[in-house]
Structure formats: structure tokens, C-alpha cells
Amino acid sequence: MKKIELDIVALSHSVTQSHNYAVVLGEQQGSRRLPIVIGGFEAQAIAVAMERMTPNRPLTHDLFKNALETFGIGLKEVIINNLLDGIFYARLICEKNGEIFEIDSRTSDALAMAVRFNCPIFTYEFILDAAGVVLEEPEEVKSSLSSSSKKRKPKSKGAALSSYSVEELNHLLDEVLIKEDYEQAAKIRDEINRRKEQG
């Protein structure tokens, strides 16, 4: 399978889940984004490495990096290799003395390690197809919203996604992407995919 390279483009606090965060990965050669909800500890571990902060004592991911390097093991790349029941799976692709071996990992931990080793992050097309959201240009989004706003009936803020039509869900997806609310975007995308599977 062809691998698609991703970059970490955002790390934001969850709007709906107070103790969770969303890390957003963007494909290098395209406009799709892959939002992944992670815990606070994992978000901190990624943020610390991205901001080049040096804690007084090593965090767990720093300890693991130090251990790998002590034994002459390098991290070549991270692959988000599966998506089952809304849960992402990842593997660490490691190298020692020219030999390649893989280690299963939670995706959040794999991302924290990728940032520390400054190694590439990959996924596969089927994962982006299932869980990716397309980030449109703001002008295009605004024009599509203004042209369709007259047709749509306003929904209450707390309205369930199941009460929206597919067209309304697509417009709502555009709106939350403009606001960079990637967690809500993931929920809307899941609802759209559920409708596609049903009909």
C-alpha cells in the first residue's frame, strides 16, 4: 500500500471533552486533515517536544527515546496503520544495525515519539478516506455558505447531528473547519459516513 506522509498541523483543546485534546495531522501533498482525539498527558508530551522544552526530569517518552538510543536503536518512521471502531492504531518502524523491526503503539504515543526523533509520520489512503476531512479555502467556504444559508432552516445549537440532512451536515462541516473545531468535524464526518453506509 502507498504511504501518505503527514505533518502535525495543530494541537488544540477539546471543545466538548474537557480533559481531551485533538491533534490534527495534515497530508503534505493535499488538503485533507486527520483529527485524532488524545488524552491530556499525551497532548502535553507532544507539545513539550514540539516547543523544544526541556523538563527537569525526563517524561516517559523522553525515557523511551533515551533507552532506544542507548541500545543503538533508531526510529525511522511512524505509521498510522489501521482504524477500527473509531480507534486509530500505529506502529513504530525501528532500525538497529540495518535490521528493521516494528513495535505496536497507541497513536498518541507514536506521535510523541515521532516529534522527539524528528522522523516522518505516514498513513494509508483507506484511513484518510474513512477519517479525513477536506480543508477548503476560506473564500470558497464562505461563498458556499452564503449561497446556501437561505435554503437552510436554522438548527438549535444543541441539535443532534442525526436531525441534519446530508447537505446540512456538509455545510456544518465547512463551518466547524473554519473555526478549527476538528473534534466536532470528526463527529460530523462520522455521521456523514454512517449515512453513506446506510444508503
Show the cell assigned to 22. 485533538
Task: Give the residue-averaged pLDDT of 128-140.
Answer: 73
Measured distance CA(5)–CA(94) in Å, rounded: 17
pLDDT, tens only, 3-46: 999 999 988 876 656 678 889 999 998 889 999 989 888 888 89
In this structure, the number of other CB atoms found within 10 A of the CB of residue 17 comes to 12
Query: Is the pTM here over 0.75, yes or no?
Result: no
pLDDT, tens only, 39-75: 888 888 898 888 888 778 888 999 999 999 999 999 9
Of the listed ranges 46-50, 107-111, 123-127, 160-164, the least confidently predicted one is: 160-164
For the chain, give every residue range classified as CATH 3.10.690.10. Answer: 3-131
pLDDT at 138: 47
Q: Name the architecture of domain 3-131.
A: Roll (3.10)
Task: Give the residue-averaged pLDDT of 157-180.
Answer: 72
Measured distance CA(70)–CA(54) in Å, rounded: 19
101 falls in which pLDDT band (50, 70, 90)?
Answer: very high
φ, ψ at 70 (rounded to 5°): -60, -35
Please list the alpha-helical segments (H only) found in 87-136.
Answer: 107-117, 125-131
Of the listed ranges 38-47, 102-111, 116-125, 146-155, the least confidently predicted one is: 146-155
